[in-house]
Structure 1
Amino acid sequence: MFAAAELDESIRKPVSESASAQERADLLEDLYLPISPEGGNLLYSLVRAARPDTIVEFGTSFGISTMYLAAAVADNGTGHVYGTEMNAAKIAHARANLDGAGVGENVTILEGDALETLTELPGPIGLVLLDGWKNLCLPVLRQLESRLEPGALVVADDITFPTMADYLAYVRDPANGYVTVAFPVEDGMEISCWTAGSVG
């Protein structure tokens, strides 16, 4: 899948800044838009260590990052991954990929706008991966915040993108309840621990 994803740049289509999230998702439905292999290994390790019962992934695409999360859940013997994706074709590909890897039963993919589909997802949420449209990472996090369990991990991908500036300013401000660190994988990841709900 990573080899196929390397072709993304050769088939990437220009997308207008004014395009809606759904329009962008449909225009880029052939692109994998994956995390890096190192980022995948990091996600797997975090899930194995934290053993969260509920994992939320904003931006499933073809399911590469989902596969790392679901494999860790399977190896832990506990937990469930809730992915989000706007494009129906990508959801079909992701489900096929996850089933082919033998981890499909550990994942539910919610179709549609994550700001709507995640509204009813119950907490507590133990780990969040933010890898969807970068301008929506902060709104998605703010929507989930009241359901984060104390010590929950929030991982944001592609933090070198200029469109992640508002997100980074938010999680790096101690007043907002996070202890956070940048991790040097391709395009960067920010790993933030939610402390606002912790005692002491």
Structure 2
Amino acid sequence: MTHTSTLADPRVAAAITRMFELAERDGDVASRLGDVTPGSGAHQELADAASEIYMPISAEGGKLLYNLVRAVRPATVVEFGMSFGISTLHLAAAVRDNGTGHVFTTEMSKDKIAAARKTFAETGLDDLITVLEGDAQETLADLEGPVDFVLLDGWKDLCRPVLRLLEPRLRPGTLVVADDVDQGQGALRPYLEYVRDPANGYHNVTFPIEDGMEISCRL
């Protein structure tokens, strides 16, 4: 018997390839951001300014996410920071192949949400994805039930607050993955210090893919 991944589905593969190709323009498009920086209530402004920037997970990082979700078989996957949905497609493909689970993802940019929803429909994975529009600190507060897998790939200074918000719903064995560990050391430092402190109940490994991924297991 031949087993194939949903990532190999022509619709999914084409969408991922197209978005990675478009993401190669991020460096040029980023110059439009100006001096907008996260903090002091400016996250929505920054999200709107970055509405054309993909800021994708790496190709290898996407494959790792797929494998982790396949292995863990989570019922509820939460993604903080959807952007155009490259990482979301990897998560949803794994959920599809597991035959169980659902992905809840967050995004502040209306333009990105519209584009991502179109992509999700084109790939046939839209039934597995719920997009929560707005500030994740508000939209995730209304999420019900336990959370079994978390990807933190939004604004780095919000990763720790979002994790703390979700913590009461994390079951033992839940994996929490943070992207861009090496790239975002400044804004991500409070998060890394928190999860790496044994007193806070996580066991960690830094996975050396592209800009690094911190994988934390809830004890």
1:14 deviates by: 2.3
Identity of counterpart residues, as a percentage?
59
CA offsets per residue over residues 100-141 of structure 1, 9 Å max, x none? 111111000000000000001012100000000000000000
Residue 78 of structure 1 aligns with which residue?
Answer: 100
Residue 109 of structure 1 aligns with which residue?
Answer: 131
C-alpha separation in 2, matches of 1:186 and 1:99: 29
Amino acid in the other structure paired with 2:36: S
1:146 deviates by: 0.2
Residue 143 of structure 1 aligns with which residue?
Answer: 165
CA contact (8 A) 2:36 2:45 kept: no
Amino acid in the other structure paired with 2:24: E
Residue 12 of structure 2 aligns with which residue?
Answer: none
TM-score, normalized by length of structure 2? 0.87
Gaps of 5+ in 1: 196-200
TM-score, normalized by length of structure 1? 0.95
The two structures, once aligned, show a CA RMSD in angstroms of 1.0
Amino acid in the other structure paired with 1:193: C
Identify the range of structure 1 (117-126 vs 135-144) with the bigger mean alpha-carbon deviation. 117-126
Q: Does 1:128 align with 2:146?
A: no
Residue 170 of structure 1 aligns with which residue?
Answer: 194
1:187 deviates by: 1.0
Point out 4+ residue stretches in structure 1 off by more than 4 angstroms.
Answer: none
Q: Does 1:189 align with 2:213?
A: yes
CA contact (8 A) 1:57 1:66 kept: yes
C-alpha separation in 2, matches of 1:70 and 1:166: 29
Residue 77 of structure 2 aligns with which residue?
Answer: 55
Amino acid in the other structure paired with 2:20: F
1:16 deviates by: 2.4
C-alpha separation in 1, matches of 2:209 and 2:26: 19
Choose the corresponding residue for 1:6, options 24, 31, 35.
24
CA contact (8 A) 1:15 1:27 kept: no
CA offsets per residue over residues 15-47 of structure 1, 9 Å max, x none? 423561000000000011100000000000000
Q: Does 1:119 align with 2:137?
A: no
Gaps of 5+ in 2: 1-18
Amino acid in the other structure paired with 1:35: I
Amino acid in the other structure paired with 1:47: V
